[in-house]
């Protein structure tokens, strides 16, 4: 049984490994959750190890304070009087942990003379004793290799090909993450360096990784050139480098080669099941794969108030499944596009139901498809089934942006704002360009009276919205997010200026208008303007915003206003009259 139990959020895995190795070096036996046996219940093993440990080191971070697991483990350690707290960033500790001493290991590189580390070692020593001598201590587990895959640069003549280089980078991250002997920095952290030219040794030091992979992609016609180099993060030496000039049809084999070359260069053993998992890409068609990457790049722009985005997704994925009818990921993304087209824009069709069923028939373990199914169940009022389905989706794809986004929306729409927050926070962290999640966090934190986190989320939302608008001045949803953020930050005049410009550019964007009404009603407190902005939305909306307005926390101050009640009643009556005789109505959007 262990001397030390370590609790942490997945985004600080490399820091947790560094702490574990330092404690093992002091002669302690340490348990960390990468030691979980495959055949045991996760929660039961956690319970056993936490109970047996003499000290529990909790590594706090922005993600950790939002993690139910970390909070539960920290509370248990506190109750058992064996809590040792560490922080790796500037995140504010939750109550009551903010009243307990906490060692600062932000930027810690393993120096045993660091004051923060000496505090940790002293606290552990008081709780667990002095440790064993190297002669009597159990053999320490070999330290995991760790790597950051920097976004590959797009060297193609066409800047629009960036979706392809991003897709290659993401696939390599995904492939390497399947190697149990290797710790891989998450996509959102790695993509934070996109467009920059960072010093590799600085990246390694900042992230606490042993190696960094960087490279470039040039796609021209039916040819692709990929360069890649693996660099020792400590000394900066090249461990391995290669340039590949191949036919585009060889792209899957090429990705496998790169992953295998990295595993070999790091002298790691690739298990048979890991090799098989890496080789599984969902399709053997390069053309279908390219279309899917392009469709997903549209999805990630976040401009879901513009039907042209969903139309592009639907066209691209439809062509992908025509080429490869067995491509489950493409079917699931098509279902998402069709769902939004019907729900937000009243388009004919089944709202993506057939495409979703096809995706799940091809791959029942496709997390994104299970999450969309959960959302549709929730829309239909089948909340217990939706809860079971989203739990499965989160287990299958805990690092999936789509899964966390949908989990957050399910809770938000049911008024469970505190439950929605961790999923919105996770989604925001997973995609560095996502302005939707921090914008929704502004609404959640404002309703809960958390001014500090409201401001933090608004700052992130504004920064990302400004970048999105700079790339596409017609991105109405980004402009809506920016208005909400500016209002929350107290910049009312600037928020109203954005609002005026946005309405001139895209006056018929109902989602944008709805967001503006939320801002006018809540942070700006202008009921007259809010009702004027909301009126055209409720007169034309196909369902979601009518249902949303009835429970939206931003409209809490309007609910007693007879004008708001009359507008909402008229909209509900209009929708009821349009509903088929069987009572079925359109689904709400993704």
- 77 near 7, Cβ under 8 Å? yes
Which of these ranges, 131-145, 309-323, 439-453, has the smallest mean pLDDT? 131-145
* CA neighbours closer than 13 Å in the CB half-sphere of residue 217: 25
In a domain, 314, yes or no: no
Q: Is the domain of 119 the same as that of 152?
A: no
Residues 6+ positions from 9 with CB-CB distance below 8 Å = 59, 61, 63, 64, 66, 67, 70
Q: Which of 240, 259, 281 is the last residue of a domain?
A: 281
Token pair recorded at residue 589: 């959007």
In a domain, 412, yes or no: no
CATH of the domain at 496: 1.25.40
Note the pLDDT of residue 135. 42
Note the pLDDT of residue 44. 67
In a domain, 239, yes or no: yes
When the pLDDT of each residue in the chain is averaged and rounded to a whole number, the result is 84
Model confidence at 583, in pLDDT bands (50, 70, 90)? Answer: very low
How far apart are the C-alpha atoms of 11 and 89, rounded to whole Å? 12
Prior bond of 96 cis (ω within 30°): yes
* pLDDT, average across residues 377-384: 89
Return the percent helix, strand and coil in the chain, to nearest 5. 60, 10, 30
Number of domains in the chain: 3
Picking from 60, 64, 7, the residue whose alpha carbon sits closest to that of residue 30 is 7
Q: Is the domain of 116 the same as that of 205?
A: no
* pLDDT, average across residues 444-450: 91
Residue/partner pairs of 89-94 with CB below 8 Å, 24 or more apart: 89/61, 89/62, 91/60, 91/61, 91/62, 91/64, 91/65, 92/65, 92/452, 93/60, 93/65, 94/65
How far apart are the C-alpha atoms of 184 and 178, rounded to whole Å? 9
Q: Which of 245, 262, 281 is the last residue of a domain?
A: 281
Token pair recorded at residue 15: 């820091």
Note the pLDDT of residue 85. 92
How far apart are the C-alpha atoms of 194 and 170, rounded to whole Å? 12
In a domain, 50, yes or no: yes
Q: Is the domain of 116 the same as that of 199?
A: no
* pLDDT, average across residues 193-212: 84
What are the residue ranges of helices labelled H in 134-250?
162-177, 187-190, 200-207
Does the pLDDT of residue 269 top 90, yes or no?
A: no
Residue with tokens 């068609």: 285
Does the pLDDT of residue 459 top 50, yes or no?
A: yes
Note the pLDDT of residue 556. 87
Q: Is the domain of 449 the same as that of 584?
A: yes
Which of these ranges, 294-298, 380-384, 575-579, has the smallest mean pLDDT? 575-579
Picking from 521, 475, 524, the residue whose alpha carbon sits closest to that of residue 502 is 475
* pLDDT, average across residues 526-551: 86
Model confidence at 377, in pLDDT bands (50, 70, 90)? Answer: very high
- 340 near 303, Cβ under 8 Å? no
Note the pLDDT of residue 292. 92
In a domain, 21, yes or no: yes
CATH of the domain at 187: 3.40.50.10610
Q: What angle do CA 267, 275, 243 make, to 5 degrees?
A: 65
Give 373: exposed, middle or buried? Use CB within 10 Å, 0-12, 13-18, 19+: buried
Q: Is the domain of 577 the same as that of 543?
A: yes
**Other C-beta atoms within 10 Å of 70: how many?**
21
- 77 near 27, Cβ under 8 Å? no
How far apart are the C-alpha atoms of 173 and 150, rounded to whole Å? 9
Does the pLDDT of residue 444 top 80, yes or no?
A: yes
Question: Measured in Å, how far apart are the chain's first and last C-alpha atoms?
Answer: 46
Which residue segment(s) compose the domain that 75 sits in? 4-128
Residues 6+ positions from 522 with CB-CB distance below 8 Å = 443, 446, 487, 553, 554, 555, 556, 557
In a domain, 263, yes or no: yes
CATH of the domain at 86: 3.40.50.10140
- 386 near 375, Cβ under 8 Å? yes
Does the pLDDT of residue 585 top 80, yes or no?
A: no
- 567 near 514, Cβ under 8 Å? no
Q: pLDDT for 143-194, tens place per residue? A: 468 899 999 999 887 777 888 888 888 888 888 888 878 888 877 788 888 8
How far apart are the C-alpha atoms of 57 and 4, rounded to whole Å? 7
How far apart are the C-alpha atoms of 174 and 43, rounded to whole Å? 26
Q: Is the domain of 89 the same as that of 179?
A: no
Q: Is the domain of 164 the same as that of 270?
A: yes
Q: Is the domain of 505 the same as that of 583?
A: yes
Residue 62 backbone zone (phi > 0: left; psi -120 to 50: alpha; other: beta): alpha
In a domain, 67, yes or no: yes
Model confidence at 581, in pLDDT bands (50, 70, 90)? Answer: very low
Q: Is the domain of 78 the same as that of 187?
A: no
Does the pLDDT of residue 462 top 80, yes or no?
A: yes
In angstroms, the Cα distances linking 35 to 20, 55, 71 are: 12, 17, 20
In a domain, 377, yes or no: no
Backbone angles phi, psi at 587, to 5 degrees: -70, 165
Picking from 123, 154, 5, 27, the residue whose alpha carbon sits closest to that of residue 74 is 5
Q: Is the domain of 200 the same as that of 96?
A: no
* pLDDT, average across residues 560-580: 86
How far apart are the C-alpha atoms of 355 and 342, rounded to whole Å? 14
Q: Higher pLDDT residue, 273 or 2?
A: 2
Note the pLDDT of residue 590. 36
Residue with tokens 């049984």: 1
Does the pLDDT of residue 413 top 90, yes or no?
A: no
Q: Which of 249, 281, 313 is the last residue of a domain?
A: 281
Q: Is the domain of 93 the same as that of 149?
A: no
Q: Is the domain of 453 the same as that of 485?
A: yes
Burial 471-500 (b: 16+ CB within 10 A, else e): eeeebbbbbbbbbbbbbbbebeeebbebbe
Backbone angles phi, psi at 107, to 5 degrees: 75, 10
Burial 137-149 (b: 16+ CB within 10 A, else e): beebeeebbbbbb
Picking from 123, 47, 121, the residue whose alpha carbon sits closest to that of residue 81 is 123
């Amino acid at each position: 049984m262990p001397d030390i139990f370590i609790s942490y959020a997945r985004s600080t895995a490399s820091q947790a490994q560094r702490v574990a190795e330092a404690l093992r070096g002091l002669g302690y036996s340490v348990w960390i959750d990468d030691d979980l046996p495959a055949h045991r219940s996760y929660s039961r093993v956690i319970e056993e190890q936490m109970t047996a440990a003499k000290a529990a080191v909790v590594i706090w971070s922005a993600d950790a304070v939002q993690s139910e697991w970390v909070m539960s483990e920290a509370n248990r350690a506190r109750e058992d009087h064996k809590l040792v707290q560490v922080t790796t960033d500037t995140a504010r500790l939750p109550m009551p942990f903010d009243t307990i001493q906490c060692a600062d290991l932000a930027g810690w590189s393993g120096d045993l003379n660091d004051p923060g580390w000496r505090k940790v070692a002293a606290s552990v020593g008081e709780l667990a004793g002095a440790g064993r001598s190297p002669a009597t201590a159990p053999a320490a587990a070999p330290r995991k290799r760790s790597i950051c895959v920097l976004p590959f640069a797009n060297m193609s003549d066409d800047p629009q090909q960036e979706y392809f280089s991003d897709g290659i980078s993401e696939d390599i991250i995904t492939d390497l993450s399947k190697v149990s002997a290797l710790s891989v920095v998450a996509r959102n952290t790695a993509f934070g360096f996109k467009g920059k030219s960072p010093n590799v040794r600085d990246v390694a030091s900042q992230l606490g990784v042993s190696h960094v992979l960087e490279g470039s992609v040039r796609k021209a016609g039916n040819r692709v050139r990929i360069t890649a180099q693996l660099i020792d993060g400590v000394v900066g030496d090249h461990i391995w480098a290669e340039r590949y000039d191949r036919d585009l049809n060889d792209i899957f084999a090429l990705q496998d080669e790169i992953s295998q070359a990295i595993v070999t260069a790091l002298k790691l053993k690739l298990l048979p099941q890991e090799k098989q998992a890496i080789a599984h890409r969902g399709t053997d068609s390069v053309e279908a794969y390219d279309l899917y990457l392009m469709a997903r790049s549209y999805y990630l722009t976040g401009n879901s108030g513009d039907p042209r985005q969903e139309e592009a997704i639907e066209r691209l994925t439809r062509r992908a499944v025509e080429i490869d009818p067995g491509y489950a990921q493409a079917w699931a993304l098509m279902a998402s596009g069709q769902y939004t087209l019907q729900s937000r824009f009243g388009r004919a069709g089944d709202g993506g139901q057939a495409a979703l069923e096809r995706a799940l028939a091809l791959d029942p373990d496709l997390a994104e498809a299970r999450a969309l199914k959960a959302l549709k169940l929730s829309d239909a009022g089948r909340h217990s089934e939706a809860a079971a389905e989203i739990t499965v989706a989160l287990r299958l794809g805990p690092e999936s942006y789509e899964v966390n986004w949908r989990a957050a929306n399910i809770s938000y729409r049911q008024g469970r704002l505190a439950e929605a927050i961790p999923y919105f926070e996770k989604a925001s962290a997973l995609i560095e360009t996502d302005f939707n999640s921090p914008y929704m966090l502004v609404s959640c934190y404002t309703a809960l009276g958390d001014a500090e986190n409201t401001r933090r989320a608004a700052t992130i939302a504004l920064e990302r919205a400004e970048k999105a608008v700079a790339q596409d001045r017609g991105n109405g949803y980004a402009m809506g997010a920016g208005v909400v953020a500016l209002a929350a930050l107290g910049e009312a005049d600037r928020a109203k200026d954005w609002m005026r410009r946005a309405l001139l550019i895209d006056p018929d964007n109902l989602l944008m208008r709805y967001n503006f009404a939320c801002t006018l009603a809540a942070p700006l407190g202008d009921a007259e303007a809010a009702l004027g902005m909301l009126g055209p939305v409720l007169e034309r909306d196909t369902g979601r915003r009518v249902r949303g307005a009835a429970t939206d926390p931003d409209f809490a101050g309007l609910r007693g206003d007879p004008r708001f009640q009359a507008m909402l009643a008229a909209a509900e009556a209009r929708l009821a009259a349009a509903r088929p005789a069987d009572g079925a109505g359109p689904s709400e959007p993704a």
